[in-house]
Amino acid sequence: MIRRGRARQRATGSRSPWSALPFVGCAAVAVAAATMSPPTGTPFALQVFLLASLPVLWAALHGSRLHVLLVAAASSVLLVAPLTVLRGVAWDVADWGVLASWVCLAFVLCPGIQLVVDRVWRHDHAQVSEAARQSLGRVRTLSDQVDQLVLQAPTGICVVGLDGVVERVNPALVTMLGRPEDPTGASVALLGLLPGADGPEVVRSVLSADGATVTREVRIGGDADPHHLSVHATTLTDEDGEPSGVLVHLFDVTARTRVEARLDHLSSHDGLTGLANRSTFDGVLEEHLVRCRRYGPAGAVLMTDLDHFKDVNDSLGHDAGDRLLVEVAAVLQGTLRESDVVARLGGDEFVVLLPRADRAEATVVAQRLVEAVRSMEPPEGYRGQPVTASVGAVVLDEVGVSASELISTADLTMYDAKEAGRDRAAVFDATEYALPQSGARLVWASRVREALRDDGFELHAQPLVDLGTREVVGAELLLRMVDRDGSLVAPVHFLPVAERTGLIPQVDRWVVKRGLERLAELAEVGSTVGLSVNISGRSLDDTDFACEIAAAVQASSVDPSRLTFEITETAAIADMERARTFTQMLHDLGCRLALDDFGAGYGSFYYLKHLPFDYVKIDGEFVRGALADPVDRLVVASVVSLAQGVDGHVVAEHVADEETAVLLRDLGVDLGQGVYLGPPRPWSTFVAELGGAAVEPVPADLA
């Protein structure tokens, strides 16, 4: 404090109150010298001059050079006079020596001390000044950075005073609000970001949160271009911890809100056509049935399926098929009323709910849908059979029926329309239930459900033979239904119904589970042959099924490379991307994939390109004619070359004799399957044959 006072005195020329202190000291020493008794032993002058040195040293340390000279002169006058005049002290040589030493101290040494002190003070002052300057520079830099951060922040920032007036905003906030003017100086309530009738009320609503952040979302802009903002407000405090204002942050969450809305839409709508999806339609139908149970049955369900749609996919590709589905969806919506509900179930299947229709109106609407699809322009470049629609309608004329039963019945009735020639509508009539077609299919659907519930299926095995060594290297597991009398029912009678009624995924799960059990049995007896199972195109759309397979394989501890999944080339794959994901999951698991009936449809090469197959099974049509028809032999040779090019193996189906087996081997076919090499047989028979036991006969209709 004294140094700062001296610096101010030197800078301003003003007198410090400390500057009089040495003179007061001199006066005190003079009074003491005049009144004190002469000592004995020590020269009196020495004691006086020692006392007089104190004011001079004080002036040297804390005063200016002028102070030192004035104090030294004052000391000379105030000390020598009392000693010589008032006290009459006699001066001897020692006293004069002491006086000379004191004069040297006062007029020579003290200015030197003062110079050293002054330089030390200046050095310290320079260091302190430099440190202060650097600190101030850092503060200014930090302040500039904060200002730049606020100005350039992509989020909106607003500082509000305790009076509710906006004190500062950044450009991002002005842009987000879409305001042409800067809201600084206006009431925060006018921004509409936080609840409150006026500015102070808005501030109080934030302060009442006790330091917690107040958040909310607001919507601004019109319906044509709405924007969604996330508002975060928190209390600002001063150095004493008292509230000094409110800090508001704005985040533009428009993109996130739109994505969430899109995901919500996709969860209830078909991603391709924009129509309601299966789950949404099921919910709407269930609500309608609740109303029917309260007010009486009303309405109808219509199932629509496109005829020859697969030909479009196979000839023009799935992109053309997708465009056609979008057009069909638009045609169906344009034909129906706003109160009607139309949904896409998957693939080329659509379902409609007519909430207030009776039988007559349902018949008219069904026929109208058929005519609307018939009148559509064919896809560009398509030269196949015209794409038409088959419609099956079911009228709700009784209470107690479930949604699944309605959809299943409508689906089977639609199948009646297909069997009657396609491009037409059929209406279900309960009085004709006992007749073939719909009634028979409903019975078969019921029997499939019973078999799934009561484990009423059985697996037979058909050997897979190496054509070079004639060794059995595997077997294909074939499904049979056990009838009520114990006889076996061939899959041709019940699998199409399972496909149409949506039961096939459950059947596939049953087959895969039993197939893993059979593999475990083979491992127990030391056999290394592999097994193959068939899965439908519908299951390929279900990635959860692939996860279930992976979990089952890992739980069974069987070698996954010994399990092959066969996919029929003619299977209708509704979503190729999901099918690719499904097959890739199985392939990564270590399982094998086989493309069955290769060449039977138009999609062979498309599937081979997009799905990771290990085996290609040539359709029996080409195998049966290979001996006599050079075209069939050329097809077989081409498939062999194609499969070898993708590191795959070739399997020939329907090998009926030795000559065909030799020809296929010579053409490069790896494996063979057929009645000559081994017809299907019960599982116990197949296992016994592996051990050298005799072969049991197999009924011809099951081979």
pLDDT averaged per 10 residues in sequence order, the chain, 703 residues: 43 46 53 50 55 65 68 65 53 61 65 70 72 76 69 79 84 77 79 72 78 79 76 84 84 80 77 89 92 89 92 85 93 94 91 93 95 92 88 80 83 86 87 54 83 94 94 94 88 84 89 94 90 88 85 88 84 69 89 85 69 89 89 90 88 93 94 93 91 43 46
Spell out the residues 6+ positions from residue 105 whose beta carbon is closer than 8 angstroms to its own: 53, 56
Model confidence, pTM:
0.53
Q: What gap in Å lies between CA 576 and CA 313, rounded to an integer?
A: 11
| The pLDDT of residue 702 | 45
| The pLDDT of residue 12 | 39
Give the sheet arrangement for strand 341-346, strand by strand: 341-346, 349-354, 300-307, 388-395, 425-427
Across all residues in the chain, what is the average pLDDT?
80
**Contact criterion met (CB below 8 Å) for 702 and 684:** no
Residue (of 564, 615, 616, 617) closest to 592 by Cα position: 564
| The pLDDT of residue 103 | 67
| Helical spans, DSSP H, in 229-376 | 254-268, 278-295, 309-316, 318-335, 359-374
| The pLDDT of residue 573 | 62
Phi/psi of residue 271, nearest 5 degrees: -70, -25
Spell out the residues 6+ positions from residue 353 whose beta carbon is closer than 8 angstroms to its own: 281, 284, 285, 288, 299, 300, 301, 302, 340, 341, 342
Spell out the residues 6+ positions from residue 651 whose beta carbon is closer than 8 angstroms to its own: 464, 594, 615, 616, 617, 618, 669, 670, 671, 672, 673
Q: What gap in Å lies between CA 42 and CA 149, rounded to an integer?
A: 77
**Contact criterion met (CB below 8 Å) for 403 and 286:** yes
Which residue type occupies 510?
W
3-state SS assignment for residue 217: strand
**Contact criterion met (CB below 8 Å) for 562 and 530:** yes
| The pLDDT of residue 55 | 67
The two structure tokens encoding residue 650: 């070739």
3-state SS assignment for residue 617: strand
Q: What gap in Å lies between CA 573 and CA 580, rounded to an integer?
A: 10
